[in-house]
Amino acid sequence: MTFDVQKNLISLLALDGISGHEHKIASVMQQQFSQSAHQVWQDRLGNVVAQYGSQSPDAFRLMVFAHMDEVGFMVRKIEENGFLRFERVGGPAQITMSGSTVRLDGERGPVPGCIGIKSYHFSKGDERTQSPSIEHLWIDIGATDKQDAARMGIKVGTPVCLYNPPQLLANDLVCSKALDDRLGCTALLGVAAAVEQMDLDIALYLVASVQEEFNIRGILPVLRRINPDMAIGIDITPSCDTPDLSDYSDVVINKGPGITCLNYHGRGTLAGLITPPKLIAFLEKTAAEHQIPVQREVAPGVITETGYIQMEQDGIPCASLSIPCRYTHSPSEVASIRDLTDCIRLLTAIAQVKGHQFPVAARQV
């Protein structure tokens, strides 16, 4: 059966799952993987793993991963008048919070709401132009009082997600919340569909990981179980074709996935990835052989699980494929179905490489 990239992406985007609450996405990933994988399991933290290809104990092990969680919020306090105070989970862009619509995962089902903003007509001075801090914001679910909110199934700790149903734009673009990283999750499913009938020389592990947006290290328990020879992460990177970023980088939408050369945390280089040149060359060579467009990227301010994976055990060579995305961590991220499809094509091509042809040494069994 042909894998429908757009349909599967839209399906995943319809689900909500902030860090630590990825179960809805995990259920779909596990169900999809179970149709074709040799084995599928979920660890106690929530990571979902599927194994494809060779089951030989000395086969080269490649782990490809993407995170299931999205940025969002959590209810911190319910006011007596029914309004909700909240905290960020991950890094949703503060500048976009006021006036955003949200959906709460209440105990009695989803509850719609919006993040309140002082009425423009009564705002004065900077109130009309400056974004208030989260301490001055609240969520309105229409509750008349604290008890009414409780009857809706809302309590302290209730997860809150941005709400913006996917919209298809011109030129193969899609606009939605949570493209970071449902794009990567869709890529995993696309690779699974592509390799299910292939006789791979390597052992391929596809991992849908948890809590990347919260502490970045949620994948570590499953990593230690797999003990891969090499890992490739799939995530997003800022697309620099918008007026505000056009002079920053040449990474743009609809020109293929990015190959990370360097990334690190925005507040310092204590965690990040410098991709080994031989891995970059390997990815570019594989892409060229299959006529898949790719872009090189240097992205300070971007950090993914690769920054921690590479330091595990005796060192795990890591690479990162990034799908360009506009307006990251906002309710209206924009990315390309075409770039996502090219990412799936490249990963599928890599999965077909013979184990001895990978540019890294195999682990000691």
Is 305 annotated in a binding site? The answer is no
Is 235 annotated in a binding site? The answer is yes
- Give me the DSSP letters along 277-338: HHHHHHHHHHHHHTT---EEEEEET---THHHHTTSTT---EEEEEEEEESTTSTTEEEEHH
Is 356 annotated in a binding site? The answer is no
Alpha helices in the chain (DSSP H): 5-13, 23-33, 146-151, 179-195, 220-226, 277-289, 306-309, 337-351
Count of residues in the chain = 365
Is 180 annotated in a binding site? The answer is yes
Which tokens hold the place of 116?
């309140």
Contact 219, 65 (CB under 8 A): yes
Active site residue 333: no
Interatomic CA distance for residues 64 and 49, integer angstroms: 10
Is 213 annotated in a binding site? The answer is yes
- Phi-psi bin for 227: left (phi > 0), alpha (psi -120 to 50), beta? left
Contact 8, 186 (CB under 8 A): yes
User: 22, 212, 297, 333: which one is catalytic?
Assistant: 212
List residues with catalytic annotation: 212
- Indicate the annotated binding residues for Zn(2+): 67, 180, 213, 235, 329
